[in-house]
């Protein structure tokens, strides 16, 4: 008897060998991907890296280094080549195309970065960076302020600013509300001062601060202050005459 030949597999069903070769397990696929990634990284690291160096003086130079060199080593080599101190300089790396500043660590391999431009920059010493600008002393004068008829105080203010800028200091010293204060040239004439002018423009170093709340009658306050000043003046003259007669 003749034996029948074994029937071939269905056309849609792949052979065992094809199934094994075409369908990889996730673990096998991950291993292949990792191997490809490692191969790409090795190619990047082992390649020659060409870039443009911009020195602190602004001069541009072409440079080529091995991709396996760390960024810190590149800094040392460049500083040695151009006779600079590595501790006083740093590198700013920019990518090709967009020229974005790249972030890196000192031990990052230069070949792992897409570098096109390297700026060799001089570090600014911390003392210079933190040192504030010299402050120009503000000019100030002693302003004598008369208030409440017989009271007197001294305020140190700038003679170059408008009077409305020094009103807060006067009010604080005299314990007067800003809403009720009026600045007069003196307690005799009762001339109201222009608040847009400075002491320097008005040519005064003394004024009268009239409190409208505590001294409702301005004329009475002014005349009373004038009387007090006149008494003081006459008393001074009387004492001077007595001393001269002796």
Note whether residue 224 is domain-resident: no
> What is the CATH number for 109?
3.10.20.90
Q: What tokens appear for 151 in the block?
A: 């009271």
Rounded CA-CA distance 110/119 in Å is 14
- Are both 146 and 97 inside the same structural domain? no
- Are both 95 and 151 inside the same structural domain? no
Note whether residue 195 is domain-resident: yes
Number of domains in the chain: 2
Note whether residue 19 is domain-resident: no
Nearest Cα to Cα of residue 209 among 226, 222, 227, 196 = 222
pLDDT for the residue numbered 20: 47
CB 164 within 8 A of CB 196: yes
Note whether residue 74 is domain-resident: yes
Residue 199 clears pLDDT 60, i.e. is over it: yes
Rounded CA-CA distance 231/104 in Å is 84
Q: What tokens appear for 99 in the block?
A: 């020229």
Residue, of 5 and 83, whose pLDDT is higher: 83
Is the alpha carbon torsion for 43, 47, 51, 55 positive or negative? positive
- Are both 109 and 149 inside the same structural domain? no
**CA 9 vs CA 23, 145, 222: distances in Å:** 19, 116, 125
Note whether residue 83 is domain-resident: yes
pLDDT digits (tens, 9 = 90+) for 200-244: 999 999 999 998 888 766 654 554 555 566 667 767 776 776 776
- Are both 109 and 175 inside the same structural domain? no
Q: DSSP string spanning 148-196? A: TTTEEEEEEE-TTSBHHHHHHHHHHHHT--TTTEEEES-TTT-PBPPTT
- Are both 47 and 107 inside the same structural domain? yes
pLDDT for the residue numbered 38: 54
- Are both 114 and 169 inside the same structural domain? no
pLDDT for the residue numbered 158: 93
Q: What is the pTM of this model?
A: 0.39
**Cα angle for residues 93, 97, 101 (degrees, 5° grid):** 25
- Are both 51 and 104 inside the same structural domain? yes
- Are both 190 and 156 inside the same structural domain? yes
Q: Which domain holds residue 207?
A: 141-211
CB 89 within 8 A of CB 120: yes
């Amino acid at each position: 008897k003749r034996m029948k030949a074994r029937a071939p597999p269905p056309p849609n069903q792949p052979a065992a060998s094809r199934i094994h070769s075409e369908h990889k397990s996730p673990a096998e696929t991950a291993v292949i991907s990792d191997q490809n990634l490692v191969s790409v990284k090795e190619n990047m690291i082992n390649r020659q890296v060409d870039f443009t160096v911009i020195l602190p003086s602004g001069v541009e130079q072409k440079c080529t280094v091995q991709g396996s060199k760390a960024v810190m080593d590149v800094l040392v080599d460049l500083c040695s080549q151009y006779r600079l101190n590595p501790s006083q300089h740093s590198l700013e790396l920019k990518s090709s195309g967009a020229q974005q500043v790249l972030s890196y660590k000192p031990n990052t391999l230069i070949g792992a970065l897409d570098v096109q431009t390297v700026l060799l920059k001089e570090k600014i010493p911390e003392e210079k960076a933190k040192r504030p600008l010299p402050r120009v002393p503000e000019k100030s004068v002693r302003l004598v302020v008369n208030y409440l008829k017989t009271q007197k105080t001294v305020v140190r203010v700038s003679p170059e600013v408008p009077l409305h800028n020094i009103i807060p200091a006067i009010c604080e010293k005299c314990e007067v509300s800003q809403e009720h204060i009026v600045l007069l040239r003196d307690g005799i004439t009762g001339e109201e001062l222009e608040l847009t002018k400075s002491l320097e423009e008005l040519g005064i170093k003394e004024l009268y601060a009239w409190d409208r709340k505590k001294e409702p009658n301005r004329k009475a306050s002014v005349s009373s202050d004038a009387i007090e000043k006149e008494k003081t003046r006459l008393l001074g003259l009387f004492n001077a005459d007595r001393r001269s007669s002796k």
